[in-house]
Amino acid sequence: MSPAKILSEQDLFRTRVICIALAISFVFSFLGGRLWYLQVIEHEEYQSYAEGNRIRLRPEPGLRGQILDRNGQILAENRPAYHLQMVWEDAPNPLQTLNKLSETFQWSLIELLGKSQYASRTPFRSIRLKSDLTADQAAFLQTHSDKFPGVTVEMEAARFYPHGKTAAHVLGYVGATNKRSEELPSNQKRSRSIDGKAGLEMTLNEFLTGLDGGRQVEVDHIGRELRTIPPVIASVPGNTLQLTIDIELQKAVESAMDNQTGAILVMQPGSGEILAMASLPAYDPNWFANGIDPNLWNQLLNDADRPLENKIVQGAYPPGSIFKLVTAYAALDQHLIDPSHEETCNGYFYVKGRSAPFKCWKSGGHGPVDLIEAIRGSCNIYFYQLAMEMGVDTLAHYAKMMMFGEKLDLGVAGEKTGLIPDSDWKRATFNERWYPGETPSVAIGQGYVSVTPIQLANFVNLIASGGIWHPPKLLRDQAESPSQTILDQRIIAPLLQGMVAVVNDPNGGTAKVARIDGFTVAGKTGTAQIISHETRKNLTNEEKELRKYQNHAWFAGFAPAEAPEVTVLVLVEHGQGGGKAAAPVARKILEFYQEHRYGRSVASSFQDQTVPFSWQLNNAFDQP
C-alpha cells in the first residue's frame, strides 16, 4: 500500500472519530443541559409532582351535628361508611386492578371503567369506584391490599336515622350539595359536600354543618399509607340540635293511624311545644343518605298519597265543622247571641235567590238547639243562620285574627297560608262580587276555605290556653316568643263547654268514641267534603265507593279539659267522618299520653261532677 493511500485512510479514520466524538459530546451536552433545566429551572414543578406521588392529603370533614328528641334520644346521627377509592397512577396496571375487583366482588367492569375514566384529568387524585361497602368487603380489601394496587378503602361519616320513617318529615333528609366547590367556604368544602334537602336538615343546615380538618400522609408506590406528616388539623363537628319531639310518643302517634294517610299534631297548649308531628305516608330518610335509587325516587314522586309532602304545613284542606267554633266565637263577640240562644233545625236552610236549600248533615234536623247543643251535635243550620247575620267579611276578620290564612313560621320549608275568603278576595280573584248564597258554606269550613293542620292545631291551642297564644315551636332551646292574648277567655268558655259535650255528654256527641274515663277530653269533629253533593249525585255507585271521593275526617281536642296540658289534632284523609275515623285515633293517642306522661289525678269526667260543668262555664261567660 502506498504512503499516500495510508495517509488518506488515517485522515478518514480521524474524521470519523471526530464526528463520533462530536456526536457523543452533543448528546451528553443535550442530556446535561436537559438535566440542568429539569433540576434548576423546573425544580419546583417536578418537586410538586414527586410530592404528589409520595405525599397525599387526607381531608377530614367535620361530622354533621346530631339531632336529639326532648329526652336526649338520638333521631339523626352519623355512621361509618366505607368507600372504595382508586388512584390511577398508583396502579402499575390499572385495568388489571379493575378486572380483579370485578371478578372478586362480582361488580360490573363496565361500571368500574366508567367511574375511572376521569382519573387522567386529575393526577394522583382519588376517584370513588364504589360507595357504602359492607364491613366484610372493606375488611377484605384492607387485608389483601397488595392484590389490588392503587386501591384504598376510605371511611367517611354517612347520615343515619335510627328510627327509620318515624318523624321523617320533621327531620328531613340529606343529599349531595348542588353547589360547586369554589362556591363553598374554604373550611367547609368537604363538610358541605352533603346538604340538607328537606325538613330541619335543610332549614338548619348551616347550624348542623361542621368545619373541615385534614392531615398529610406519606404513601408507598402502591398508595399504602406509611406515616402521617404533622401538623394535623382537627375537624369540628356541627352543632347538636334538640327538638321538642318525644320519639316514643311520636311512634305511638304514627302507630295509631294504622296505615291510614293524613296528619297528626300533639302539642302543649301552654308552651306551644310540639310533642309529636306526623305526616303520613312517610319515607325513610336513610334511603337518601348515599344517593337514592332513581326507581325509588320516581315511585315516591308519583305516589298519589304524596309521601314526600309534609302535610302538616304543606297540605291545605277544608277544615269542616271544626271551623264552626270560629263562627260561634265571632257571633258571641258580636253580641248576636249568648250561649242560650236557640235556633230550630229542621234539616234545611234556604237562602234568598238560591233554589236548592243548604242541608244539615242529620236527616230530619236537630230540632231546637242552643249554642252548646249545636256544637255537641255539629248542627249546620245553627251556624248557617249566624253566618248570614254576620256576613263573610266579619267571619273572615275573626278567622284571620285566629291566624288562619297566614304562615306560622314553624321553621319547616314549604309552609302554605291556606285561604280565608272574603268579598275583596273574591273580587280580586274572579272579578265578581260575593253572593250571600256563598256565605253559609264558609260558616262550616267548606267552600273556598282551606287551612293547614298546623293552623288548626294552633287554633285549638288558643282555646285550650284560654285565648293566650304561644307560638308553635319544634326546637327545645328556641328563644321564648312573647305570648299574646288573642281571644277573650269569657267567650271561649261556652266553646269549651260545647267541646266537652262533644266527647262526654251522656246523650251522645259526635266524638263520644274519644271519651276516656278519668281524663276529660274536649274535642270537635269535622268532615270535609272532597266533592259537592251535586257532583256526587252524578257518580255511579262504583265511583261513589272510590277512596278518592270520600270525605276527609278531622278531630281536634285537648285534655284534661279542667287544666289542658296536651292538644291533639288528627286528619285522616278520605276517612269519611270525623267521629268514625279521626276520633278513635285521637283516643289511642290520648290514652298513651295518659298512661305514660300524665301523673296527676284529675277531676271526674263530665257527667259525674257534683256541680254541673255547664253552670261553671255559663257563670264564667256572664262575668263582666
- Distances 52 to 59, 84, 128, 217, 541 between C-alpha atoms, Å: 15, 20, 18, 11, 75
C-alpha cell at 458: 294552633
For residues 68-92, give the mean pLDDT. 88
Domain contains 117: no
- Domain identity same for 155 and 264: no
pLDDT at 339 over 70: yes
Taking a C-beta distance cutoff of 8 angstroms, is the pair 264, 570 a contact?
Answer: yes
Mean pLDDT of the chain: 85
Taking a C-beta distance cutoff of 8 angstroms, is the pair 494, 621 a contact?
Answer: yes
pLDDT at 610 over 50: no
Domain contains 267: yes
Q: How far apart are CA 588 and CA 179, in angstroms?
A: 45
In which domain, by residue range, is 163 found?
A: 56-110+126-242
pLDDT at 66 over 70: yes
Residues with Cβ within 8 Å of residue 191, at least 6 apart in sequence: 61, 62, 64, 209, 210, 211, 212, 235, 238
Cis, bond preceding 281 (omega within 30 deg of 0): yes
- Domain identity same for 195 and 321: no
Phi, psi of 282 (to 5 degrees): -115, 180
**Which comes out higher in pLDDT, residue 4 or 416?**
416
- Domain identity same for 481 and 590: yes
pLDDT at 231 over 80: no
Among residues 531, 441, 488, 479, the alpha carbon closest in space to that of 623 is found at 488
pLDDT at site 606: 32
Q: Which residue has the cell 367511574?
A: 115
C-alpha 139: how far from its chain's center?
Answer: 36
Tell me whether strands 552-559 and 522-528 are parallel, antiparallel or unpaired.
antiparallel
Taking a C-beta distance cutoff of 8 angstroms, is the pair 313, 414 a contact?
Answer: yes
For residues 169-198, give the mean pLDDT. 81
- Domain identity same for 373 and 434: yes
- Domain identity same for 341 and 413: yes
- Domain identity same for 266 and 226: no
pLDDT at site 197: 94
CATH number of domain containing 168: 3.90.1310.10
- Domain identity same for 214 and 344: no
CATH number of domain containing 494: 3.40.710.10
Domain contains 340: yes
Taking a C-beta distance cutoff of 8 angstroms, is the pair 404, 455 a contact?
Answer: yes
pLDDT at 612 over 70: no
- Domain identity same for 279 and 234: no
- pTM (2 decimals)? 0.81
- Domain identity same for 155 and 92: yes
Domain contains 449: yes
- Domain identity same for 70 and 177: yes
Highest mean pLDDT among 57-61, 81-85, 314-318: 314-318
Q: How many domains does the chain have?
A: 2
- Domain identity same for 234 and 264: no
pLDDT at 487 over 80: yes
Domain contains 27: no
Confidence of residue 128 (pLDDT cuts 50, 70, 90): confident
pLDDT at site 119: 53
Domain contains 535: yes
Taking a C-beta distance cutoff of 8 angstroms, is the pair 384, 369 a contact?
Answer: no
Domain contains 24: no
Confidence of residue 541 (pLDDT cuts 50, 70, 90): confident
**Residue 52, by phi and psi: left (phi above 0), alpha (psi -120 to 50) or beta?**
alpha
Residues with Cβ within 8 Å of residue 240, at least 6 apart in sequence: 65, 66, 67, 68
Among residues 591, 594, 570, the alpha carbon closest in space to that of 280 is found at 570
Instruction: State pLDDT tens for residues 357-377.
Output: 888 988 888 999 999 999 999
Domain contains 479: yes
Instruction: State pLDDT tens for residues 376-390.
Output: 999 999 999 999 999
- Domain identity same for 220 and 271: no
Among residues 464, 479, 457, 477, the alpha carbon closest in space to that of 408 is found at 457
